[in-house]
A and B are shown apart, each in its own frame.
Chain A
């Protein structure tokens, strides 16, 4: 299917553009990832800095922060997810249209971070929604967020449109909506979504 890279360059020099539908489709998708305008804590400040002139997220086609989940492709979980906020985060994710991606930005979003043992902080948003890119840091530097974008672009680029590993919106069987946790008397119920997150095996 894929055109040989050397041949493609050679043809390009002759003014002939050769591509595949898959490549073109993924190029379009990865070059206009619109994030949702949504910040949770101090990581959001770094996210805002990333969009400004010095780091210029516009180079990745991702400068358009949409205030509505319906128009967004990417959710940047930028900061601490408290147990009070977690249901709203999952609900916003459910409201986003496919294809949708998630970057968990910073120590809090990936694990609870310095607040992990607190009574009010979720120990990582990946317990409820699938996360595509995790970036550590407290907060991560804008460069780290740019790296997350590049990682996500590589991931989108590598997605085949058919068969195993195709994106969710092309898979009729795929699960697109994730159960919103309920705020119970003592904790969120359930405490994680087993379909998304299983307890990682720790080798001691």
Chain B
């Protein structure tokens, strides 16, 4: 099997503006992956299928990367004016400052490819959306590997990535009128914790929160209609 570096070189020779990036896997397995640029993904995928004979797409899955707040310490040098023995002096002083910045999140689709004819694999492809809200769009690889169809539908259902070029992008597991994407990190479950006979840990907290909310909401405490969001 070719290494990812060789595959990357082959891709870049075939699709000149592919801009493929290697995502290193530091673990023992060393299963590095390739991050594709969404705009050139179809060409790269077609080359992988026809040129490098990756004829079997085994798995497609999604990853949610929420917005990350990063606090980092930065050394800042600034000039400080001090009055020493009646004489003003400027001296440089280095101070450590904590700066916070928010790294915008994204959604990622991960494709696992094998080659049945060459008995090779897996090759892991990744694609990232621009953000998690209004630009969550990726090109569908269903025209290249038909087995992506249901799995891309599932990713749309659970993560909310819109696959443009998909022949039939409907929800797969949840119903059509459903608005949320349950596998996202910020998904809020419906508050139906009215009856938890053996609650513990997180469920206990949710059940207690539900009880507190409904005790204050309806003093009569008619919980039978409970469970509303």
Please list the residues of chain B having a beta carbon within 8 angstroms of any beta carbon in chain A.
173-180, 182, 187, 189-190, 192, 194-197, 203, 223-229
Contacts and interface: CB of A to CB of B under 8 A. Distances in A.
Contact of A117 (B203, B226, B227): B203
8 contacts: A84-B173, A119-B182, A183-B178, A186-B180, A192-B224, A194-B225, A198-B224, A199-B224
B194 A199 contact: yes
Interface residues of A, number: 20
Given A185-B177, A186-B229, A200 B197 contact: yes
Contact of B175 (A183, A190, A197, A198): A183
Classify the secondary structure of B's interface with A: loop
A198 B221 CA distance: 12
B194 to A, nearest CB: 5
Contacts of B190: 119, 186-187, 191
Contacts of B225: 190, 194
A187 B192 contact: yes
Interface of A: 83-84, 117, 119-120, 123, 183-187, 190-192, 194, 197-200, 202
Contacts of A83: 174-175
A194 B224 contact: yes
Q: Which of A84, A119, A200 has the most CB of B within 10 A?
A: A119
Contacts of A183: 175-178
A184 B180 CA distance: 11
Contacts of B197: 200, 202
